[in-house]
Amino acid sequence: MRNQQSNSSRFDVKKYILKKNLKKDLPSSIVVFLVALPLCLGIALASGAPLFAGLITGIVGGIVVASFSGSQLSVSGPAAGLTVIVLNSITDLGSYQIFLVAVVMAGIMQIILGIIKAGTIGNYFPSSVIEGMLAAIGITLILKQLPHALGVDTDFFGDEGFFQQDQENTFSAIFNAASHLSIAALVISVLSIAVLILWPKFKKINVVPAPLVVVIIGVIGAFLFSNGAEALRNDQLVTIPVVSNASEFFGLFTMPDFSALTNPKVYMVAITIAIVASLETLLSIEAIDKIDPIKRVTPTNRELVAQGAGNIVSGMLGGLPLTSVIVRSSANVNAGGRTKMSAIFHGILLLLSLLFIPKIINLIPYACLAAILLVTGYKLARVALFKHMYHKGWDQFVPFVVTIVAVLLTDLLKGVGIGMVVSIFYLLRTNMRNPFFYKVQEEGNKKNIRIKLAEEVSFLNKASIQVLLTGIPKETNVIIDGTNSRYIDPDVLETIFNYKHNAYTKGIIVTLEHIKSQYTVPKLNTKITEEIKN
């Protein structure tokens, strides 16, 4: 067994350096790097943290988390969904150094959650809600990046919330941009979108990734529009810290103040971060697995451990809390990423850009990066997806649409929560209709009713069974048949036994066939489970 495991491990390591995979992973890592760079800076700015903290978080998310993670396509980094929590927590705790202690503690809690198998909660998100979340992220990307593509938006790059830090909202920011657009930004974004759409159609030149061409066009465009009334402003270009030597670089790091471990507020902040970051990660992982062309399944418990390790390292180095992020991960999928090396390379590129080419990076206009995200957003919210969900029926289409609207008008977690409530409503309605089937047999002056229970009868079926039993007329013979049932919930059993005990008062005779007094939840054979995992 050990030899098999060893051979499997060698195979796993080998596949990451295969030429056919590296040909996909290296170009996609450049795309993810270009998308992640302004996101890291913007989220740090909105969180009230040093800009360098955002870059550190992206580097750790790429190198550390991806190394431990079982996901091949997920990319981790600072998340827009945590900005409000981080901003308020830094204020409440009094200093950024104390906040970093909470980040480290949150990482430890996530590792514990992974060890106790809490990641299985990710298996309970309905498909319609996940699809709705992906479509909502796509629409959000389009709406949020339009101002950047037009060259007018003072809020940070990639804000996912409806209400923004600059007192604007999604729609007012677009109207503001439309009335104060920058010709330079508009020209760059239009050319960039054209390249992203047309470039892949030419196979001979498609060896060079389209997003890299887009960035080159953006830099050239910024140079051409460097003078005159239409020149791009500094706030329309990427901005990262410029360091000239090693001492300046290491001077950017911030260490946590562990003397704050006695502060109860630290633990409350840590718990909040651990829960929200874990939920957002599980949602992202579930969504990315759905759009993975190879349809691989990420081990969620291992992912929580990887995220916990990442948050510990990030907190120790002065970074922000991190999660698996749908925007980066979607860009990775759309760019053709094949293995986790894409995420690792993107982290290395972030580090190298900070060390060696910060001045070149600062020449990249936001407009061309917005174009990359606009195309990514369209792929996530394509018209074909809406048609597909509509044809699946109202019980799938309604939660899908509600999730989209809720995410657009609130934020990711709240929107998914609302979508879950609607999905559960349809689940309950379906269960009320389909817990059993029965037939009525006439015999003389009496009616014989046979109720055949389904294979699985859960607590969700209790209400509908009670309604059926209560409506049975007096002087009736009732046979409740559990022949096909592998499991009947204890609450349903109690309802059935109580009905049998009290039915005589109505002249009803109840006969139970093949219904046991207790059922145990069927378990998969351990051997089968191990084979499935392997």
The CATH superfamily of 434-513 is STAS domain (3.30.750.24)
Q: Which two tokens stand for residue 177?
A: 């941009």
Q: What is the DSSP string of 291-309?
A: H-TT-----HHHHHHHHHH
Could you tell me if 154 and 195 are in contact, meaning their C-beta atoms sit under 8 angstroms apart? no
Q: Which two tokens stand for residue 312?
A: 């510990």
136 Rama sector, left if φ>0, alpha if ψ -120 to 50, beta otherwise? alpha
Residues near 21 by beta carbon (within 8 Å), at least 6 away in sequence: 15, 338, 339, 341
Secondary structure element (H or E) that encloses residue 324, with its range: strand 322-324
Q: Which two tokens stand for residue 62?
A: 């790429």
Helix, strand, or coil (residue 371): helix
Backbone angles phi, psi at 455, to 5 degrees: -65, -40
Q: What's the pLDDT at 25?
A: 93
Distances (CA, A) of 418 to 197, 242, 364, 408, 410: 35, 44, 38, 12, 10
Residues near 243 by beta carbon (within 8 Å), at least 6 away in sequence: 249, 252, 354, 355, 358
Residues near 135 by beta carbon (within 8 Å), at least 6 away in sequence: 380, 381, 385, 386, 400, 404
Distance CA 418, CA 404 (A): 10
Backbone angles phi, psi at 208, to 5 degrees: -85, 120
Backbone angles phi, psi at 216, to 5 degrees: -60, -45
Of 178, 163, 196, nearest in space to 377 by CA: 196
Exposure of 217 in the CB half-sphere (CA atoms within 13 A): 25
Backbone angles phi, psi at 94, to 5 degrees: 95, -20
Q: Which two tokens stand for residue 309?
A: 């390790």
Helix, strand, or coil (residue 206): coil
Sign of CA dihedral 242, 244, 245, 247: negative
Helix, strand, or coil (residue 454): coil
Domain boundaries, the chain: 19-395, 434-513
Sign of CA dihedral 529, 277, 315, 319: positive
Residues near 479 by beta carbon (within 8 Å), at least 6 away in sequence: 448, 449, 450, 451, 510, 511, 513
Distance CA 455, CA 470 (A): 22
Secondary structure element (H or E) that encloses residue 363, with its range: none
Distance CA 328, CA 222 (A): 25
Could you tell me if 311 and 322 are in contact, meaning their C-beta atoms sit under 8 angstroms apart? yes
Question: Nearest-5° angle of CA 344, CA 348, CA 350?
Answer: 115
Q: What's the pLDDT at 173?
A: 65
Q: What's the pLDDT at 158?
A: 46
Of 293, 294, 297, 277, nearest in space to 379 by CA: 293
Could you tell me if 461 and 493 are in contact, meaning their C-beta atoms sit under 8 angstroms apart? no
Q: Which two tokens stand for residue 140?
A: 């959000």
The ranges of the chain with pLDDT < 50 are 1-11, 156-158, 526-532, 534
Alpha helices in 392-489 (DSSP H): 394-409, 412-433, 462-470
Q: What's the pLDDT at 468?
A: 84
Distance CA 31, CA 373 (A): 10
Distance CA 44, CA 499 (A): 61
Distance CA 426, CA 421 (A): 9
Could you tell me if 385 and 287 are in contact, meaning their C-beta atoms sit under 8 angstroms apart? no
How long a stretch of residues is the chain? 534
Residues near 204 by beta carbon (within 8 Å), at least 6 away in sequence: none
Q: Which residues of 306-340 are buried (b: 16+ CB within 10 A; e: fewer)?
A: bbbbbbbbbbbbbbbbbbbbbbbbbbbbbbbbbbb
DSSP symbol at 169: B
Could you tell me if 451 and 478 are in contact, meaning their C-beta atoms sit under 8 angstroms apart? yes
Q: Which residues of 259-292 are buried (b: 16+ CB within 10 A; e: fewer)?
A: ebeebeebeebbebbbebbbbbbbbbbbbbbebb
Distance CA 106, CA 100 (A): 10
Place of tokens 């049998």: 500
